[in-house]
């Protein structure tokens, strides 16, 4: 297999595998039961051994932790829960020594209500930051200015007696919405980006980016049609036509890209969900002056993985449309093996799923524990930490079940902490601990390393085009093509054996998963062939 030329023809991030670290749950270094930056640094050998190109670290900034770090009260410091700026600098240095790039979250849609910017903004209608957040007068009857709803339940407006106005919040009321239409606010958050770029970060994951600009006319959102699907939140009853996705976001994105360009090969990837996500992902990444990549929730929230669904999603990114990123799991979504297969099939399914992820065109994001095949943990109501799950109990599946600590050893605290873990570790996931899988050459951990090695050594898989995507029953097939290399990729997403087309019989086998061969794809079998 040819060595992929990813240090000359392509920037480092093109085709990269990114490993997402949720810092509260990766490794605790001080025994308080919560992971931290020193803990991450101490475990980077595990990440490096996988063969990934970069880590994405979820928020570690100063925060009251109402939404576990996505409510930032100081963008330019580390919360004491996670350590200090010196700890971050040491983490960056360690990662770079291991050849790992570092991507950090940037959260430009909102801050914490304890951020000094909001403290000043709410103090009066005339102060220098009065227009830094989204404020509005009440209707004549005292009700909120429009019908927008919060993701976490209830109106997206909270009354503030200091200003005798409502302020907007797409998420918690403790997460007031920044007014990114204001040029001074743009300048301030771009200075935040520069702060972290000067500390040698290699890229940004941009949280909820299409939520960062609203309709200044505050027009009501139209109702969403009833599709028959159970709707658990008022947010689900609307088309978010005016509360997000304002077209002026493009101008800000181009300003952000220009800042990244000041520092060289910086990677920018946006999280884009919502009613118009496909269009926005492409618009935000179009050409050479906007973001490098974007990902959505197509796979993250899908209740099942079928060949027809996968082909439909993958076909939304044609080779000329830009460069996508893909994730099957993350800190906001239930573990894929718990959504997509029966418990007795999880071992085989997890191998096939990882092979599929590693074969996709674009960047791939592996969430911590996905390389171990972790399942969704069941967290009882009295132990929940997730504010969304608490607010919408029991209809909203808790995000906590995908945020439980990473099991390093099969022991009560998983080798994660010497204290009491902030969320419990289940016996089922402890049995999948890193130490257990290290000594088993056939474990998913070893399979993941092998798959990433195949991807890294293949120009077609890492950088090539995506062609001939076809779904036929449970069979998903597509080609990955680069100069001098064409690979045929076949995946059985079902439990019944599939007989592939006889034309591939003489092809060289690059990968055969779960007993697959050119003449047979057993349940959850996977093949990559050179044709």
Confirm whether 262 is a catalytic residue. yes
DSSP characters for 25-77? GT--SSSSSS--HHHHHHTHHHHHHHT-SEEEEPP-EE---SSTTSS-SEEEE
Give helix 277-284 / helix 249-262 axis angle, nearest 10°. Answer: 40
Q: Which of 91, 83, 104, 79 is nearest to 193 (CA)?
A: 104
E strands in 342-434: 363-367
Q: Give the H/E segment covering residue 450.
A: helix 444-456
Sequence-ordered list of residues with C-beta below 8 angstroms from that of 304, at least 6 positions apart, any chain: 339, 340
Residue 105 φ then ψ, to 5°: -70, 145
End-to-end C-alpha distance for the chain, whole angstroms: 12
Q: Which of 28, 207, 370, 375 is catalytic?
A: 207
Q: Which of 417, 419, 444, 402 is nearest to 20 (CA)?
A: 402
Sequence-ordered list of residues with C-beta below 8 angstroms from that of 335, at least 6 positions apart, any chain: 329, 369, 370, 374, 375, 376, 401, 402
Q: Is residue 528 a contact partner of residue 515, using CB atoms and an 8 Å limit?
A: no
Sequence-ordered list of residues with C-beta below 8 angstroms from that of 107, at least 6 positions apart, any chain: 59, 70, 72, 75, 207, 208
Q: Is residue 78 a contact partner of residue 84, using CB atoms and an 8 Å limit?
A: yes
Q: Which of 236, 262, 441, 467 is catalytic?
A: 262
SS3 of the chain: helix, strand, coil, percent, to 5: 30, 20, 50
* DSSP assigned state of 498: B
Could you write out the three-class secondary structure of 168-198?
ECCCCCCCCEECCCCHHHHHHHHHHHHHHHC
Tokens of 27: 């490794």
* DSSP assigned state of 517: B
- Longest CA pairwise span in the chain (Å): 76
Confirm whether 187 is a catalytic residue. no
DSSP characters for 72-110? -SEEEEE-TTT--HHHHHHHHHHHHHTT-EEEEEEE-SB
Distance CA(256)–CA(423), nearest Å, equals 36
Sheet hosting strand 475-482, strand order edge to edge: 465-472, 475-482, 485-492, 526-530, 508-513
* Residue corresponding to tokens 């640094």: 41
* DSSP assigned state of 317: S
- Residues designated catalytic: 207, 262
């Amino acid at each position: 297999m040819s060595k992929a030329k990813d240090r000359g023809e392509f920037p480092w991030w093109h085709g990269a595998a990114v490993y997402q670290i949720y810092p509260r749950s990766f490794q605790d270094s001080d025994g308080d039961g919560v992971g931290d930056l020193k803990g991450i640094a101490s475990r980077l050998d595990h990440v490096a051994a996988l063969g990934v190109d970069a880590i994405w670290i979820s928020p570690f900034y100063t925060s009251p932790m109402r939404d576990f770090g996505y409510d930032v009260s100081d963008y330019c410091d580390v919360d004491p829960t996670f350590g200090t700026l010196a700890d971050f600098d040491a983490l960056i240095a360690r990662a770079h020594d291991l050849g790992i790039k570092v991507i950090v979250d940037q959260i430009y849609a909102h801050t914490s209500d304890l951020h000094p910017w909001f403290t000043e903004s709410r103090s009066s209608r005339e102060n220098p930051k009065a227009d830094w957040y989204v404020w509005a007068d009440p209707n004549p009857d005292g009700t909120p200015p429009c019908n927008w709803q919060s993701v976490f339940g209830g109106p997206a407006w909270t009354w503030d007696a200091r200003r005798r106005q409502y302020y907007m919040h797409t998420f918690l009321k403790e997460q007031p919405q920044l007014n990114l239409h204001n040029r001074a606010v743009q300048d301030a958050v771009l200075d935040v980006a520069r702060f972290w770029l000067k500390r040698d970060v290699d890229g940004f994951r941009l949280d909820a980016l299409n939520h960062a600009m609203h309709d200044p006319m505050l027009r009501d959102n139209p109702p969403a049609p009833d599709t028959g699907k159970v709707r658990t939140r008022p947010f689900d009853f609307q088309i978010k036509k005016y509360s997000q996705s304002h077209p002026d976001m493009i101008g800000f994105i181009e300003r952000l890209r220009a800042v990244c360009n000041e520092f060289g090969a910086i990677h920018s990837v946006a999280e884009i969900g919502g009613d118009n996500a496909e269009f926005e992902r492409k618009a935000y990444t179009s050409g050479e002056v906007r973001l490098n990549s974007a990902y959505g929730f197509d796979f993250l929230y899908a209740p099942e993985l079928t060949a027809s669904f996968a082909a439909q999603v993958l076909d939304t990114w044609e080779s000329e449309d830009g460069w996508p990123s893909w994730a099957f799991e993350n800190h906001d979504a239930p573990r894929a093996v718990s959504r997509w297969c029966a418990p007795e099939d999880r071992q085989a399914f997890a191998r096939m799923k990882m092979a599929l992820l590693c074969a996709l065109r674009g960047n791939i994001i592996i969430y911590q524990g996905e390389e171990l095949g972790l399942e969704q943990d069941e967290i009882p109501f009295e132990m929940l930490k997730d504010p969304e799950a608490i607010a919408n109990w029991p209809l909203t599946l808790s995000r906590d079940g995908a945020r439980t600590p990473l099991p390093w050893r099969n022991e009560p605290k998983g080798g994660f902490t010497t204290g009491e873990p902030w969320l419990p570790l289940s016996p089922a996931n402890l049995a999948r601990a890193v130490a257990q899988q290290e000594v088993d050459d056939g474990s998913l951990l070893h399979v993941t390393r092998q798959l990433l090695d195949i991807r890294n050594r293949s120009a077609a898989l890492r950088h090539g085009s995506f062609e001939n995507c076809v779904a036929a029953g449970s069979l998903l097939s597509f080609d990955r093509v680069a100069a001098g290399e064409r690979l045929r990729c076949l995946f059985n997403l079902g439990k019944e054996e599939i007989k592939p087309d006889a034309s591939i019989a003489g092809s060289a086998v690059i990968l055969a998963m779960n007993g697959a061969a050119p003449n047979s794809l057993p349940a959850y079998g996977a093949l990559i062939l050179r044709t």
